[in-house]
Chains A and B, each alone.
Chain A
Amino acid sequence: MTDMSQDYNFAYLDEQTKRMIRRALLKAVAIPGYQVPFASREMPMPYGWGTGGVQVTAACLTPEDRLKVIDQGADDTTNAVSIRKFFERTADVAVTEATSEASIIQTRHRIPEQALSEEQILVYQVPIPEPLRFLEPRESETRKMHALEEYGLMHVKLYEDIAKNGHIATAFAYPVKVEGRYVMDPSPIPKFDNPKMDDCPALQLFGAGREQRIYAVPPFTKVVSLDFEDHPFEAGRAAHDCALCGAGDSYLDEVIIDDEGGRMFVCSDTDHCRTRREAGHTGALGVPEAFA
């Protein structure tokens, strides 16, 4: 795999670093939801732009892979475009925008609408891996709480939500319990996506670069969103249909379209929206794909 005539090693990272990350990944897969420390490297992008996800992707990529990168569900935003370009340049792998064609999907803050398959790996970019961080700032204490399975504090956060708002107002980074053991922060995906993590056929990997943590949900693992008996978990979405493709079951972005209060709701998953329009679905403000 190492070709000295190239400027970069395959997928940017050197082989020893990839081995180190793969060891952490194996451990993470073996203990679902457990945060494995790893020696995160400096990447040629700022923290918060997906340095953790990029390292995990680099360690998983093979020349035969087809890569898809999304940011908030979209293939065409800055973060997605630059990470896709980065791997096109440093690994020369094929890229795609179609969810079904990708073998590795790196994502920031969304899970694609289309169901994933056993052949796929989903890599999440994680800003803060510790779900208990804002309730218990001491890292030594939160590690102990994970080790001893003391998760009452997580419910204190949900209690506070209900006390303040009358319902569980946490809308993203909604805490989940993995395989009945570790409580995990699913990265800031909307809670709409939480049910998709449960029993998912694809391998889900989480990389936090600044915090130097890797964790994983292996295929077909039980992932349960925390809740109260009298306030059960609800996966919320805006009560609209997509203005472009008319989808009534996808996660929507609100887009402001003029300065007179006009707005439209569109699928946040651009690939999903495009596929639907190509299949002839049209929303209230959309035009059929053939005329677009």
Chain B
Amino acid sequence: MTPLLEVRDLTKRYGPRIGCADVTFELWPGEVLGIVGESGSGKSTLLSCLAGHLAPDTGSVVYDTRANGARDTLTMSEPERRMLGRTDWAFVHQNPRDGLRMNVSAGGNVGERLMAVGARHYGNIRATASDWLGRVEIADERIDDRPSAFSGGMQQRLQIARNLVTGPRLVFMDEPTGGLDVSVQARLLDLIRALVRDLGLSAIIVTHDLAVVRLLADRLMVMKSGRVVEEGLTDQVLDDPQHAYTQLLVSSVLHV
């Protein structure tokens, strides 16, 4: 088996400051990788570099494409990378407003990716949109409402539907549950977990919430000051943290 994503020595600097440095890992098909760390530890920079939103300074990100096998996404042409970004990849933003078109109806938001890859039959697009709204527990009658009329949790679920409609294999999530209250968070996590398992998705989830990775992630990377300080199976890292920073992180979680 070949890894879906193979990252080697990825470094991104902001002038003299380090965004992330010398990150190396592999992501296997069907695997969910969590990246945790404090604010400013380079998690989001790393995710942006992986998803092609930021150009890293050095390193390689080799993706196992459906058509042409393993390709370095950093050296591929921009049209190819953008095509990958709206078909085989998905990106779920922390703030749904960044990932949705707020002045376009829910159905149009879900349909956009279909139309971007050439769907030109209104009836079919609408049927698919309606199906996906159902799968993320949004009532069918809300299909023509704009996301601005949705609650935060619904917006986030809509963003997930919009991303998954083209059947991607790799999903990048940046704090998918940030900014939601705990009960909505729990439902969303439940939904994401079901979707990831049902569709056999691979995912990279960036979060500072250890409960989220405990629930979703198979494997965990802990980042501090732009570097990966510890990685391993989620339960192993959380239950028996080795690095001092991970120990601090795990012991800082509040319990009720």
Task: Tell me if B180 is interfacial: C-beta within 8 Å of chain A.
Answer: no
Task: Tell me if A256 is interfacial: C-beta within 8 Å of chain B.
Answer: no
- Chain A, range 133-166, C-beta contacts under 8 Å to B: 135, 148, 150, 152-153, 155-156, 159-160, 162-164
Interface residues of A (CB under 8 A from B): 135, 148, 150, 152-153, 155-156, 159-160, 162-164, 228-231
Task: Tell me if B32 is interfacial: C-beta within 8 Å of chain A.
Answer: no
Residues of A contacting B108 in the complex (Cβ-Cβ under 8 angstroms)? 156, 159-160, 163
Task: Tell me if B27 is interfacial: C-beta within 8 Å of chain A.
Answer: no
Once A163-B107, A164-B144 are accepted as A-B contacts, the answer to whether A230 and B121 lie under 8 Å apart by CB is: yes
Residues of B contacting A162 in the complex (Cβ-Cβ under 8 angstroms)? 122
A150 to B116 alpha-carbon distance, docked (Å): 7
Contact of A135 among B82, B101, B111, B113 (CB under 8 A): B101
Q: Whole-angstrom distance from the CB of A141 to the nearest CB of chain B?
A: 11
8 nearest A-B residue pairs (beta carbon) = A152-B116, A152-B115, A228-B122, A155-B115, A229-B121, A148-B79, A156-B108, A156-B112
Interface residues of B (CB under 8 A from A): 78-79, 82, 101, 104-105, 107-108, 111-118, 120-123, 125-126, 143-144
Q: Are A148 and B78 in contact (CB under 8 A)?
A: yes
Summarize B's interface: helix, strand, loop or mixed: helix
Q: Most chain-A Cβ atoms within 10 A of its Cβ — which of B116, B122, B123? A: B122
A135 to B116 alpha-carbon distance, docked (Å): 14
Residues of A contacting B78 in the complex (Cβ-Cβ under 8 angstroms)? 148
Q: Most chain-B Cβ atoms within 10 A of its Cβ — which of A148, A152, A162? A: A152
Residues of B contacting A156 in the complex (Cβ-Cβ under 8 angstroms)? 101, 104, 108, 111-112, 115
Once A135-B101, A228-B121 are accepted as A-B contacts, the answer to whether A159 and B111 lie under 8 Å apart by CB is: yes
Q: Whole-angstrom distance from the CB of A225 to the nearest CB of chain B?
A: 13
Residues of A contacting B112 in the complex (Cβ-Cβ under 8 angstroms)? 152-153, 156
Q: Are B115 and A230 in contact (CB under 8 A)?
A: no
- Pairs across A and B, CB under 8 Å, 22 listed: A148-B79, A150-B116, A152-B113, A152-B114, A152-B115, A153-B115, A155-B115, A156-B108, A156-B111, A159-B115, A159-B122, A159-B126, A160-B104, A160-B105, A163-B126, A163-B143, A163-B144, A164-B105, A228-B120, A228-B122, A230-B121, A230-B123
Residues of B contacting A135 in the complex (Cβ-Cβ under 8 angstroms)? 101, 104
Other A-B pairs beyond A152-B113, A164-B144, A229-B120, 9, CB < 8 Å:
A148-B82, A152-B117, A153-B116, A156-B115, A159-B107, A159-B115, A159-B122, A164-B105, A228-B120
Q: Whole-angstrom distance from the CB of A164 to the nearest CB of chain B?
A: 7
Residues of B contacting A160 in the complex (Cβ-Cβ under 8 angstroms)? 104-105, 108
A148 to B107 alpha-carbon distance, docked (Å): 25
